[in-house]
Structure 1
Amino acid sequence: MSLVANPFLSDRSLKIRAKAIPWEGYQRAGLLGADDVQFVQRVAGARDKAESILDAVWLPFSADVTVTANSGWDAAQEGETYAALYIRLLNKLSRNDTLQFILVLLGDFIADRDERISLFFRQPDSPYPPLLKLLDSQDDFVRLKASAIASTILSYDPQPADQVVAKLLQHLSNLIRSPNEPEAQDVGTQCLESVLRVARARSMCWAPEGQEAKAPKVIEGLVQLLRSDPSPQMQYQLGFCFWLLTFDQTIAEQFNSHYNLIPLLLDLSKRAIKEKVIRVVVASFRNLVTKAPKQNLAAMLIAKVLPYVQTLQGRKFSDEEIKEDVDFLADELKKSFEGLTTYDEYKSELATGHLTWSPPHKNDDFWRDNAHKLTDKDREQLKVLVHLLVSSTEALTLAVAANDIAQFVKYHDNGKKAIEDLGAKARVMELMAHGDPDVKYQSLVATQRLMSHAWA
């Protein structure tokens, strides 16, 4: 796996490689042994030179080379030596320019060389403690380079410790939520592309109901970036992260209800310039339909995902997997949405937990025909509407819910009493003081209806 591709890190790495580090001085000070100095100096020059040395170390493992017992052992031993060396150097040395240099060497060692990463899991000393310590560095290069290396190593760890995953996730959530640091946001998002490949990392991003404060704000940060008109490359990185998250069953079930992500991802795909952005969004939708249809189909109906994927069916893609996912979605959504009435669509919108100004809300004919249905099955749908009015923090949802309360009271003979019985009257009146002008206006209209005589 490649390390993150970031211009800031690349430019600084070139300059750092050209610096002279006093390795012999560390030896004279007793911080490093003679062997440590000898090994680090072998790879401390230009990257091409270092790679030729490291490639020679790994050559006996090539499928095209006959490996003798001695040569295979020597190569393995030397690779292990470098893995152990870099951990030891990070643990022993603390000067900033030296740490920068070591991180550059370590990054070179593992970039696009998966077989070398596994060596770190066989060392007596873990690479995580020194790397995680550097996440708190005041030096931007050290902090971001350590983030990239730790994230890459973690993505190959078969059994990462929870405290390591938690520390890294918290750090990455801080990076992506740094609005004045575009380099940090870019590196943090790319690191999450690696870390979220780990199932344990995905589950730790999502706290159980009522314990959200204990989880790192990874999802919030990704949503924030998604709303910020990201660049085409950032669009892909964000889409990829959300796609990885949809592989977790719990996340797939709560994905849209918590963050209203289906409309956001749909908009991302519609605006996409790059085909790969469409690919990860469509693949995310397929995961959501497959893993949690009950929780996501309603939101896809309201967001008009079906008409969009039907337009995609008429496009040509270079990637066959996109066509397969598009056809799957079109078939599943069409099958699920066939025969739905306008009232079914309204119920589906209530079920998403997010309301918009879709046609039924302002349509008098709709309410004249359907207001009484909200009280069926012990006021089932009315209770859902009231719950949104009471619990939502979204101004748009609150405004639409207040409108619906007013419409229900207007067109239901006992609407005023039903609203009072459910305790919603006080909430409607409370929202007249809301900061959003539309919420305030719709609540005022609803309050007037509740205070007047029932409509006849």
Structure 2
Amino acid sequence: MINPTDDLREVLERGARWNALLTSRLVTDEDLQAIQRYELRDEDARADMMDEEGDACARAFLNVLSDVSQTEYVQYVLALITRMLSDDKTRASHFLAVEKKKDDDDKGKGGGGGEAYAVFLRLLAAPDWFTREKAMFCLTRLIDQRPARDKRLRFSEDGEPATPAGVAAVRLSRWLCRELSADPPFHPHRAVPSCVTALASLLSIREVRPVATRAGVARAVAPLLKVTAGPHNVQELYEAGLCAWLLTFHPPACDAMARCGVIRGLMEVAGAAAKEKVVRVATLALRNLAAATGARETRGEEEEAGSDGTRTAADGDGGGVVGVSGVVGVSLAAQELALRKLVQNLRLRDFHDEELLAALADLEDGVLARRKEASSWDRYRAEVTSGALDWTAAHTDEGFWRENASKLTDNNCQLLRMLVAAASDPGAEPRTLAVVCHDLGEFATHYPAGRFLVQDLKGKDCAMRLLAHADDEVRKQALLCTQKLLVQKWQFLGGEVSSA
């Protein structure tokens, strides 16, 4: 687990050459005296000083971060603040009490932590990861400790946040989504773990979820739901699962997760993770996704979230049922067999957590029972509509294609167009691309005018571009698809190849 304080020692021991700043008039005598009185004391004495003159000390720290750009001083002050807020998160109130400077361009928006938020947000663009990470940590602490009047973030009529806390939460959530999507990450070892932890904290705020969804949070979280060896992966999986669980309370986010493979990732995590807390949070997310249809949030969310965030879900307070919309249902329908097998395997493990067992029962007795009534075509249509395809039985069933190929042309070739669109999606998972290429080839083989329809919709162009894809299976299926689109009597050629 990445701890925000585990790399502070070197920076704190290095200290700062304050006299140089004083000579250049970049720091005032008053601020310098406050910082030096604080930094030279032991832990108990620092706490006493913050009790007595915490606002003045916080103002001195922010003044240095605002007026000084040299990395040495910025890192040192951030290290002091990070240690302080890690020891006692309520100290954030001192920073929130600092008003914006009178010469700021947006001085009319002061108060409510406006100065502190502005300073730390600016540091998110620093050239070094230490500064970025500590600024991110400080922002999450300040947002978490915002005063009661700001607990529910307010937005103006044009959809923009109306308070400094809202501005900070929105900008930080967008920044986190960008950092998690960066390839390669800004820091090879610390960027992803620290960012996903901060994201989970932010997503506990209801108003942040729509912003994060529009910023691509589902696509950022999906790659993190992979079980690999190593102690860091356990906590990272837990935090990623927690993000997914929190997003289940926002229907558009559920749709986004279904489209970019989060459901499949949650199933992988629930089935392969060794730690019970990781299995629990993944299963609870799946249970919420599968619980119902309808794009609405339920009252249970408020009960689950509580006043201090929603980390209780995976720790024993998962709460009630949440409503989701149609795309999620069709995605789950496509995963019916795999989901049923997952539940059966998890029931064989020696779990004693009542909430986890209840979630498994909900999955088994509710969703899976209803999905049994769906036909093979219904399941296939659901899978294509979801945008996340897998090697379910229908794809490789010759009889299925003989019977249903013509249905892809219904409603002005709606499903066929969806397949072509999925093949041209640069962000699609390799497995989805491979299955799409396979299905386009099967349609071309089993529908009389299939070859021409696929070519008219630019499906052949998509398949040919995928011949250069990095994934072996995608290249293989793209090649087969291209061959089927070029050969008029593929079934006869296939028979000759088989008998050769």
Question: How far does residue 354 in structure 1 lie from its aligned partner after superposition?
Answer: 2.7
**Residue number among 46, 57, 67 corresponding to 1:82 in the alignment:** 57
**Residue number among 373, 379, 384 corresponding to 2:410 in the alignment:** 379
The equivalent residue for 1:153 is 142
- Do the aligned partners of residues 51 and 238 (structure 1) sit closer, same or farther apart at CA in structure 2, a change above 3 Å counting? farther
User: Any gaps of 5 or more consecutive residues in structure 2?
Assistant: 101-114, 154-162, 291-321, 468-474, 493-500
Corresponding position: 1:93 with 2:88: no
Corresponding position: 1:433 with 2:464: yes
**What amino acid maps onto 1:172 in structure 2?**
L
User: 1:405 & 1:141 partners in 2: Cα distance?
Assistant: 48
Q: Is the contact between residue 219 and residue 257 of structure 2 (CA under 8 Å) also seen in structure 1?
A: no
User: 2:457 & 2:448 partners in 1: Cα distance?
Assistant: 12
**Residue number among 370, 394, 399 corresponding to 1:365 in the alignment:** 399
**What amino acid maps onto 1:6 in structure 2?**
I
The equivalent residue for 1:123 is 98
User: 1:105 & 1:341 partners in 2: Cα distance?
Assistant: 62
1:283-329 Cα shifts (integer Å, max 9, x gaps): 22233233215222332233222331243344443543322322222
The equivalent residue for 2:80 is 105
The equivalent residue for 2:242 is 240
User: 1:227 & 1:316 partners in 2: Cα distance?
Assistant: 23
Corresponding position: 1:199 with 2:206: yes
User: 1:325 & 1:20 partners in 2: Cα distance?
Assistant: 51
Q: Is the contact between residue 253 and residue 295 of structure 1 (CA under 8 Å) also seen in structure 2?
A: yes
Report the secondary structure of 2:391's partner residue.
Answer: coil
The equivalent residue for 2:105 is none
User: 2:15 & 2:440 partners in 1: Cα distance?
Assistant: 72
User: 1:40 & 1:296 partners in 2: Cα distance?
Assistant: 53
Report the secondary structure of 2:458's partner residue.
Answer: helix
- Do the aligned partners of residues 396 and 240 (structure 1) sit closer, same or farther apart at CA in structure 2, a change above 3 Å counting? closer
Question: How far does residue 256 in structure 1 lie from its aligned partner after superposition?
Answer: 1.0
The equivalent residue for 2:176 is 172
Q: Is the contact between residue 422 and residue 436 of structure 2 (CA under 8 Å) also seen in structure 1?
A: no
User: 2:69 & 2:456 partners in 1: Cα distance?
Assistant: 63
1:240-265 Cα shifts (integer Å, max 9, x gaps): 222223322211133212x1221122
Give the stretch that moved more between structures: 275-284 or 148-157.
148-157
Corresponding position: 1:298 with 2:330: yes
The equivalent residue for 1:62 is none
Q: Is the contact between residue 235 and residue 277 of structure 1 (CA under 8 Å) also seen in structure 2?
A: yes
Report the secondary structure of 1:15's partner residue.
Answer: helix
**What amino acid maps onto 1:282 in structure 2?**
T
The equivalent residue for 1:348 is 382
Report the secondary structure of 2:249's partner residue.
Answer: coil
User: 2:377 & 2:240 partners in 1: Cα distance?
Assistant: 35
User: 2:69 & 2:421 partners in 1: Cα distance?
Assistant: 54
Question: How far does residue 267 in structure 1 lie from its aligned partner after superposition?
Answer: 0.9
1:65-123 Cα shifts (integer Å, max 9, x gaps): xxxxxxxxxx5xx3333333322232233333222221122112222534222343332
Question: How far does residue 270 in structure 1 lie from its aligned partner after superposition?
Answer: 1.7
User: 2:484 & 2:454 partners in 1: Cα distance?
Assistant: 18
**What amino acid maps onto 2:43 in structure 1?**
A
The equivalent residue for 2:132 is 143
User: 1:93 & 1:198 partners in 2: Cα distance?
Assistant: 33
Q: Is the contact between residue 118 and residue 156 of structure 1 (CA under 8 Å) also seen in structure 2?
A: yes
> How many aligned residue pairs are there?
412
Q: Is the contact between residue 350 and residue 384 of structure 1 (CA under 8 Å) also seen in structure 2?
A: yes
Report the secondary structure of 1:416's partner residue.
Answer: coil
Corresponding position: 1:186 with 2:193: yes
Report the secondary structure of 1:309's partner residue.
Answer: helix
Q: Is the contact between residue 350 and residue 385 of structure 1 (CA under 8 Å) also seen in structure 2?
A: no
- Do the aligned partners of residues 85 and 321 (structure 1) sit closer, same or farther apart at CA in structure 2, a change above 3 Å counting? farther
User: 1:152 & 1:450 partners in 2: Cα distance?
Assistant: 65
TM (norm. structure 2) is 0.71
Corresponding position: 1:16 with 2:11: yes
Question: How far does residue 124 in structure 1 lie from its aligned partner after superposition?
Answer: 0.9
**Identity of paired residues, percent?**
23
1:35-50 to structure 2, matched below 5 A, reads 35-45=30-40, 49-50=42-43
The equivalent residue for 2:279 is 278
Aligned-residue CA RMSD (Å): 3.4
The equivalent residue for 1:222 is 221
1:207-247 Cα shifts (integer Å, max 9, x gaps): 3xxxxxxx4x5544433444584722222222222222332
User: 2:17 & 2:439 partners in 1: Cα distance?
Assistant: 73
**Residue number among 316, 321, 327 corresponding to 2:361 in the alignment:** 327
Report the secondary structure of 2:8's partner residue.
Answer: helix
TM (norm. structure 1) is 0.77
**What amino acid maps onto 1:443 in structure 2?**
T
Select the structure of larger CA radius of gyration: 1
User: 1:271 & 1:321 partners in 2: Cα distance?
Assistant: 19
- Do the aligned partners of residues 142 and 452 (structure 1) sit closer, same or farther apart at CA in structure 2, a change above 3 Å counting? closer
User: 1:424 & 1:387 partners in 2: Cα distance?
Assistant: 14
Report the secondary structure of 2:14's partner residue.
Answer: coil
